[in-house]
Amino acid sequence: MSQTARTDASESTSRSGRAGHGNPWLSLFAVAFGVMMVGLDATAVTIANPAIADDLHADLAGLQWVTNGYLLALAVALVPAGKIADRFGRKKTFLAGVVGFFIASLLVGASGGIGMVILWRVVQGIAGALLQPAGLAILRNAFPPAKLNAAIGIWGATVGVSIAGGPIVGGLLVQHVSWQSVFFINAPIGLVALFIGMWVIRESRDERARGSIDLPGVVVLSGALFALVFGLIKAGAYGFNDQLPLWSFAAFVALFVVFVLRESMTAQPLLPLGLFRSGSLSAATGLMILGIFGLFGTIFFVQLYLQQVHAMGPVEAGVRVLPMTGVFIISAPLGSALTERFGPRLPLVIGMPCNAVAMFGLSRIGVDAAFSSIWPWFVLIGLAFGFVLTAATEAIVGNAPAELAGVAGGLQQTAFQIGGVLGTSVLGAILSMRVGDSLVGHLTHAGLPPAAADQLLAAKEFIAQGGAPVPPGSPGPVAHAITTGSHLAFMDGFQSAMAIGAVVSLCATVVALFVRRGDTPTEDTAAA
């Protein structure tokens, strides 16, 4: 243990009477376990979905809400949860989120119907919203500014490893145990986070906050975020010109205007608008959205490409992206080291062009691309993800006053989630439209009669997921023509989506030029 860590540990012992209490590195360890639980669950569930549908006889709409119910609950609760953490205590809020998450996970696994699965997934989303911004706020107040970047680097590496490991862990559990085990595994991880957190984390809060939570602000902001995320989800399914997403976006704009007016007039705002006087914080928030837009969109569609077009199993596809995740384990701490030495601007200006180059490279691959022509782009994505996630997080959390660390953590997580939903829905809509434009041509060129090709347009959404709608009992030449034409149409959409993502990543590089290092002091924290 370093001399600094020993000093921290001895000071915390003298204040609380127990060894390790208040030690920042042990607090980071507890927070990392909570983040690991959420990260594993986020991607492992996608592997479990087919087994859930088969076991519970769920239709496609019900299965989509297993994911979307969680995302919506998480998105609308993040900023209020950050405010709750600042007001009532970050340790209490984090531990409540940990307990809620792993109990909800157990109840998901014990559910006997798809309705109960969706209900407990919503509870998972609310619990995840409690623990994530509170965890970042704990780090913001446990570490001195000189060491905060290193802590965020380790936190970022934990996020990346858990998200990337989810498909592999989930695939192994579903294949060899059951889909329920994907959720049951959260219990031991959550218990470790709970017991370590109870022992070592020192309580902190905004001591100047008085009065009740701005409940009208909570309601309006939650409604606005719900409308935005719901509209994005539906746009990914129906297109951006459909009435449902258009009305959802209109509701978001109206509610957001009401929220801004409300926050500018209340004495205890839910999201103090003064935060955005910091150009760096505002730019970093936008950059988090734009960065995650490209990064998550890439990861999502690469998995479709590997599993559907190349017919890989979940575990095999997860192994294939190890060049991405392996680099991320290194790039997150490296990004933090660069941020500590030069500020967040440099790793952001490096990371976003790397992602742009990678997405442009992926936009050139074909149906039968060899893995040797793909993995270099995965390496660049892993480098970009590590740099962008850690540097943008430091710019948001580090540029916020320490007494508003929970709010800043909620803002960071909200930007992260919105960027992810934007990436999958916008790029998904582009992919789907391109598939519709080119499908008939590819099918007829592959040898399918024009009338049969026209009929397959009804399966456009399935083909946009990388599938080939070959009817059972089809003759060999017909099956080959449908498979060839469907995969070529999917690749047209994939290439277009990757090209658009590359352009967005380049635009995000311009935003990165406005980000600078946070310089706000750390507040004194009260011992629990």
Closest CA to 343 of 288, 394, 382, 405: 394
Of 7-16, 162-171, 252-261, 291-300, least confident by mean pLDDT is 7-16
pLDDT mean over 328-351:
85
Closest CA to 129 of 85, 184, 195, 180: 85
Say yes or no: 228 and 197 in one domain: no
Closest CA to 212 of 269, 261, 265: 269
Sign of CA dihedral 342, 344, 345, 349: positive
Of 161, 176, 202, the residue that ends a domain is: 202
Q: What is the rounded CA–CA span in Å between residue 384 and residue 350?
A: 7
108: left (phi over 0), alpha (psi -120 to 50) or beta: alpha
pLDDT at position 7 is 37
- Decide if 364 is inside a domain: yes
Say yes or no: 233 and 291 in one domain: no
Say yes or no: 191 and 219 in one domain: no
- Decide if 62 is inside a domain: yes
Say yes or no: 62 and 124 in one domain: yes
Alpha-carbon torsion angle 296, 297, 298, 301, nearest 10: 120
**Global pTM value:** 0.74
- Decide if 255 is inside a domain: yes
Helix (H/G/I), strand (E/B), else coil: 133: helix
pLDDT tens track for 249-282: 999 999 989 988 887 887 777 677 777 777 777 8
If you ran DSSP here, which 8-state letter would residue 253 be given? H
**Measured between alpha carbons, how far is residue 191 from residues 28, 101, 275, 528 in Å?**
16, 11, 35, 20
* Residue 138 in this model has a pLDDT that exceeds 70: yes
Tokens of 264: 């500018």
pLDDT at position 319 is 78
Q: What are the DSSP calls for 40-60, one per residue?
A: HHHHHHHHHHHHHHHHHT--H
Say yes or no: 194 and 322 in one domain: no
pLDDT at position 354 is 92
- Decide if 207 is inside a domain: no
pLDDT at position 207 is 62
pLDDT at position 206 is 65
Structural domain containing residue 67? 18-202
pLDDT tens track for 378-407: 999 889 888 888 888 878 877 777 666 667
- Decide if 36 is inside a domain: yes
- Decide if 274 is inside a domain: no
Closest CA to 441 of 512, 492, 393, 502: 492
Of 176, 202, 228, the residue that ends a domain is: 202
pLDDT mean over 498-516:
86
Percent of all residues in the chain with a pLDDT value above 90, rounded to a whole number: 12
Question: Are 358 and 377 spatial neighbours (Cβ–Cβ below 8 Å)?
Answer: yes
pLDDT at position 5 is 39
- Decide if 13 is inside a domain: no
Of 157-161, 197-201, 370-374, least confident by mean pLDDT is 157-161
Of 202, 233, 260, the residue that ends a domain is: 202
**Measured between alpha carbons, how far is residue 231 from residues 228, 287, 374 in Å?**
5, 21, 33
Say yes or no: 424 and 467 in one domain: yes
Q: What is the rounded CA–CA span in Å between residue 4 and residue 9?
A: 9
- Decide if 33 is inside a domain: yes
Say yes or no: 323 and 398 in one domain: yes
Closest CA to 130 of 162, 82, 163, 91: 82
pLDDT tens track for 105-134: 999 988 888 889 889 998 998 998 888 778
Question: Are 86 and 136 spatial neighbours (Cβ–Cβ below 8 Å)?
Answer: no
pLDDT at position 1 is 39
Confidence class for position 247, pLDDT limits 50, 70, 90: very high
Say yes or no: 312 and 263 in one domain: no
Tokens of 130: 């409690």
Query: Which residue is it, tokens 């270099």?
Result: 376
Tally of structural domains, the chain: 3
As a whole number, the mean pLDDT across the chain is 80
Say yes or no: 77 and 192 in one domain: yes
Closest CA to 163 of 53, 360, 324, 344: 324
* Residue 148 in this model has a pLDDT that exceeds 90: no
319: CATH: 1.20.1250.20
* Cβ-based neighbour number of residue 59 at 10 Å: 9
Say yes or no: 351 and 262 in one domain: no
Comparing 528 with 207, the larger pLDDT belongs to 207
pLDDT at position 518 is 58
Say yes or no: 118 and 28 in one domain: yes
Question: Are 426 and 497 spatial neighbours (Cβ–Cβ below 8 Å)?
Answer: no
Comparing 376 with 325, the larger pLDDT belongs to 376
Closest CA to 413 of 102, 110, 38, 9: 38
Residues 6+ apart with CB under 8 A from 280: 344, 395, 399, 514, 515, 516, 517, 518
Say yes or no: 514 and 458 in one domain: yes
* Residue 360 in this model has a pLDDT that exceeds 70: yes
Q: What is the rounded CA–CA span in Å between residue 465 and residue 459?
A: 10
DSSP 3-state helix, strand, coil percentages of the chain (rounded to 5)? 80, 0, 20
pLDDT tens track for 30-56: 888 888 888 777 777 777 777 787 788
Q: What is the rounded CA–CA span in Å between residue 415 and residue 228?
A: 12
Confidence class for position 496, pLDDT limits 50, 70, 90: very high
